[in-house]
Amino acid sequence: MQSTAEENYIKAIYKLSGGGTNAVSTTGLSETLQTKPASVSDMLRKLSAKDLVHYVKYHGVQLTEEGQRVALKIIRKHRLWEVFLVQKLHFTWDEVHEVAEQMEHVKSELLIQRLDEFLGHPRIDPHGDPIPTEAGELRQEEQRVLASLAVEQKGVVCRVKDSQPAFLQYLNRVGIQIGTQLQVVDKIPYDNSLEISIDKSKSVILSSDVLEKIFVINP
Amino acid sequence: MQSTAEENYIKAIYKLSGGGTNAVSTTGLSETLQTKPASVSDMLRKLSAKDLVHYVKYHGVQLTEEGQRVALKIIRKHRLWEVFLVQKLHFTWDEVHEVAEQMEHVKSELLIQRLDEFLGHPRIDPHGDPIPTEAGELRQEEQRVLASLAVEQKGVVCRVKDSQPAFLQYLNRVGIQIGTQLQVVDKIPYDNSLEISIDKSKSVILSSDVLEKIFVINP
DNA sequence: AAATTTATTTAGGCAAACCTAAACTTTAAT
DNA sequence: ATTAAAGTTTAGGTTTGCCTAAATAAATTT
């Protein structure tokens, strides 16, 4: 079992290395972790002794396979809690991070299993980042533009291409956010707009303009 | 802001002193906290310096008013998380404690406010213990036996007087647990049984035997 | 290629929260 | 009222995770 500090190092190495494969520098870690390089050296020796990282003095670190497994577990917890905070407790994106950062360190397999179930096995977090599976797989879903869905097809919103306040407010009003489940109810051939049902309830008609700016993954 | 260790000491003092008023011994604390008496002495000096406890060497500790405020905040968090785990994630009573013990230390006012709201401002936890208010008040509700409720009256289950498996399984099947909201739909004078609606949905008829074993607080 | 700058590690320290062993109080027993 | 036992504190030590300052290695300039 790892301490909170160790977990934060592993997460940081994972993020900086873009998945654990590339080597990461001591200074880079010290910056993301807000500590001094000397402290990082200390910890790397420790993580290396635990076989969680490959560490070659003066030449950076990478995660071992075990290290990657641990990293993905933490990321899974972090992202599931983010979904919980946004979807159930109505946190906004910017309020989420600090709290999830604490919750991700709570130790309980059962808790995460049940949380995942409670949230309906979400595949992406409120930022659109994928949630690793229980087995530790980070599946990269194929993204499709909402405009390309046929009638009856379903999708989960994973990205929006326009971040202008007016557009985001519009999405807010119709009830669309990252993670929202959509289904095409009908197609209006006249102007290529679609009738979309949102989270299995109310439906709205979206113009082809809007449809081009929303990306979904297959459900 | 207190550390996790400090919070655990404060909670332990609160519990052992039965609300913070009576003095608590070093050995008592060392037993509940699973540490050595010497470590307790250390921490008491520290908490005393922070004015969270009144500590007289060789004569025990009590919480100061500030200490009591802190204790009630932690207990509030603990019990709210217990409600969440049982009602939303379907944990059983015995699985709850260890996890809530970790979650209670997550720091975020907003989180607790929102959690409380999400759970519908519960007044008792899954063991029937009262949840302190946001203002730090521990209201002791008046308990009434379910049999004494009149038609239309509501109540929240707070205690059951029979802990035999057969009885608990029966309650389980009809959907009654600590925290369940009940309302008397009708009274059957013939045998003094009551028709009770459970969590605002399905209703059942409970015999007067059963009605005598269930306690509720007014809603 | 040598010199300088930058990056990294080592050495030595500090605070938190624990420990053991020894010293000291209080309580209980004779 | 002494003495023994039990409870508590102090003194000194450990580990974790951080720090600063000094030493060393790598990268960059000249």
Contact: B95, A102; criterion CB under 8 Å? no
Q: Where are the beta strands (DSSP E) in chain B?
A: 53-55, 61-63, 143-145, 154-160, 181-188, 193-198, 203-206, 214-217
As beta bridge partners, residue A61 has A24, A55
Residue type, B51: D
Q: Give which of B77, B95, B102 to mutate to test A binding, by max A Cβ within 10 Å.
A: B102
Indicate which CATH number applies to the domain containing B46. 1.10.10.10
Using a CB-CB distance cutoff of 8 angstroms, which residues of chain A are in contact with residue B85? 111
Please write the tens of the pLDDT for every residue from B68-78: 999 999 999 99
Residue A77 belongs to some domain of the structure: no
Give the domain extent around B53: 4-63
Using a CB-CB distance cutoff of 8 angstroms, which residues of chain A are in contact with residue B7? none
Percent of chain B with pLDDT over 90: 84
* Cα B80 to Cα A77, B111, B181, distances in angstroms: 20, 11, 16
Q: What is the pLDDT along chain A (219 residues), one digit of tens a residue?
A: 999 999 999 999 999 998 868 999 999 999 999 999 999 999 999 999 999 999 999 999 999 999 999 999 999 999 999 999 999 999 987 899 999 999 999 999 999 999 999 999 999 999 889 999 999 999 888 899 999 999 999 999 998 888 888 898 899 899 999 989 999 999 999 999 999 999 988 899 999 999 999 999 987
Of B88, B89, B107, the CB nearest to A102: B107
Q: Are B107 and B49 in contact (CB under 8 A)?
A: no
Gap from A106 CA to chain B (nearest CA, Å): 6
- Report yes or no: A119 at the B interface, CB cutoff 8 Å: no
Contacts of B103 (CB under 8 A, 6+ apart): A103, A106, B77, B78, B81
- Report yes or no: A97 at the B interface, CB cutoff 8 Å: no
Q: Look at residue B32 and give its three-state secondary structure.
A: helix
B3 touches strand C (CB under 7 A): yes
Contact: B99, A89; criterion CB under 8 Å? no
CA distance B148 to B59: 47
Contact: B85, A111; criterion CB under 8 Å? yes
pLDDT at B27 over 80: yes
Of A89, A107, A114, the CB nearest to B102: A107
Q: Give which of B84, B96, B108 to mutate to test A binding, by max A Cβ within 10 Å.
A: B108
Q: What is the reported pLDDT for B165?
A: 83
- Report yes or no: B98 at the A interface, CB cutoff 8 Å: yes
Residue B57 belongs to some domain of the structure: yes
Residue A124 belongs to some domain of the structure: no
Residue B98 belongs to some domain of the structure: no
ipTM score for this prediction: 0.89
- B 57-96 residues with CB < 8 A to A: 85, 88-91, 95
Residue A198 belongs to some domain of the structure: yes
Indicate which CATH number applies to the domain containing B180. 2.30.30.90
Residue B44 pLDDT grade (very low, low, confident, very high; cuts 50, 70, 90)? very high
CA distance B176 to B202: 11
Using a CB-CB distance cutoff of 8 angstroms, which residues of chain B are in contact with residue A3? none
Q: Which stretches of B50-186 are DSSP H helices?
A: 65-83, 93-103, 109-118, 165-174
Which of A38, A63, A88 delimits the end of a domain?
Answer: A63
Residue of B nearest to A113 (CA): B89
Q: Are B85 and B108 in contact (CB under 8 A)?
A: no
Instruction: Give the Cα-Cα-Cα angle A121, A93, A139 (nearest 5 degrees).
Output: 35
Which of B22, B42, B63 delimits the end of a domain?
Answer: B63
Size of interface A-B (CB pairs under 8 A): 42
CA distance B9 to B45: 12
CA distance A93 to A96: 5
Of A90, A102, A110, the CB nearest to B106: A102
Q: What is the DSSP letter of B146?
A: G
CA distance B81 to A117: 17
- For strand C, list residues 27-56 of chain A whose Cβ lies within 7 Å of it: 27-28, 37-38, 40-42, 44-45, 55
CA distance B204 to B184: 10
A210 touches strand C (CB under 7 A): no
Number of domains in chain B: 2
Q: Are B8 and B14 in contact (CB under 8 A)?
A: no
Find the radius of gyration of the CA atoms of chain B. 20
Q: What is the reported pLDDT for A20?
A: 65
Gap from A144 CA to chain B (nearest CA, Å): 33
Which of B15, B38, B63 delimits the end of a domain?
Answer: B63
List the A41 CA – C9 C1' distance (angstroms).
7
